[in-house]
Amino acid sequence: MTEARGSAGSGGRAHTRYASGTPCWVSLMAHGLTATQDFYSALFGWEYRPGPHQLGPYARALLHGEQVAGIGQLPPDRHLPVAWTPYLASDDVDSTAESVRLCGGTIGVGPLDAGDAGRLAIGSDPAGAVFGLWQAARHLGTGVTGVPGTPAWNELRTFEAAGVVKFYETVFGHERDTGADADADHITLKLAGRPVAGIRGMGNTLPRDRGSHWLTSFQVTDADDALRRVRDLGGQVLTPVQDDPRGRVATVADPEGAVFSVIELRG
């Protein structure tokens, strides 16, 4: 993503257009829109702005006046998993969607216009992990990063990293970096030499009820305090705080079961 000129709010990095293949937005579809918004508002300090109306009941979460994520309401007759979905930037969603299909993935929604905000599609990779595609028009994506309450990282959790990395390399132009730990089934995806996402092979520890899935991490000031607030707000702690090369991280779920991570980044 490219640096924007101008203010980013309270010390964060503001962005203009995201390079193709870069995670640029995260969105959650839930059953109880108001209750879900209240949970994340209390946890991250988010405020909300409605729209775009083409997506039905939907709101964009704001932090310091900048858009950071989206929360929408699932139709009552749609019994779909409640999950955070990362969107990868595309210069041409229709062309990228076709590449997804040709490389063994599927497109379940779109491509379709979201008013003057942009054009989107929702698909899955050959292992079944769901992601979105976003072709920006007026809405460029997450407006600020690098401060608590903003998306910090997206990682694909799958059975075997090597089994799907070729898909992301071919469709999005990602480069792979296996890192120094040859024993860990982990690949960092890069664009122009810059890390943008990760793929972690979990083998038999991959949750059977979830299968392959993308996991979004949100930055927090204090991971232990964030876990206390998650519990107090009706969520669940799935894994305790652990040390990670990037900081102190824990996996949690909101009251409807949407799984995400909180990370206290290293200084």
Per-residue pLDDT at 190 exceeds 90 = yes
Contact by Cβ (8 Å): 120, 110: yes
What's the per-residue H, E or C state across 61-98? Answer: EEECCEEEEEEEECCCCCCCCCCEEEEEECCCHHHHHH
Category of 118 on φ-ψ map: left (φ > 0), alpha (ψ -120 to 50) or beta: left
> Across the chain, what does the average pLDDT equal?
91
Q: In angstroms, rounded to a whole number, what is the distance separating the alpha carbons of residues 130 and 67?
A: 22
Per-residue pLDDT at 4 exceeds 50 = no
Could you tell me what percent of the chain has a pLDDT over 90?
A: 79
Q: How would residue 222 be classed by pLDDT, with cut points 50, 70 and 90? A: very high
Per-residue pLDDT at 69 exceeds 70 = yes
Q: Which pLDDT does position 70 carry in this prediction?
A: 97
CA 262 vs. chain centroid, Å, equals: 12
Task: Pick from 52-56, 77-81, 238-242 the range whose average pLDDT is largest.
Answer: 238-242
- C-alpha dihedral over 69, 110, 102, 70, to 10 degrees? 10
Per-residue pLDDT at 241 exceeds 80 = yes
Q: Which pLDDT does position 51 carry in this prediction?
A: 77
Per-residue pLDDT at 53 exceeds 50 = yes
For the chain, the residue count is 267
User: How many angstroms separate the Cα of 51 from the Cα of each of 15, 37, 57, 133, 176?
Assistant: 21, 14, 8, 18, 36
Contact by Cβ (8 Å): 161, 201: yes
Say how many CA atoms lie within 13 Å of 185 toward its Cβ. 17
Contact by Cβ (8 Å): 212, 205: no
User: How many angstroms separate the Cα of 117 from the Cα of each of 25, 50, 68, 225?
Assistant: 13, 13, 15, 36
Q: In angstroms, rounded to a whole number, what is the distance separating the alpha carbons of residues 86 and 147?
A: 18
pTM: 0.92
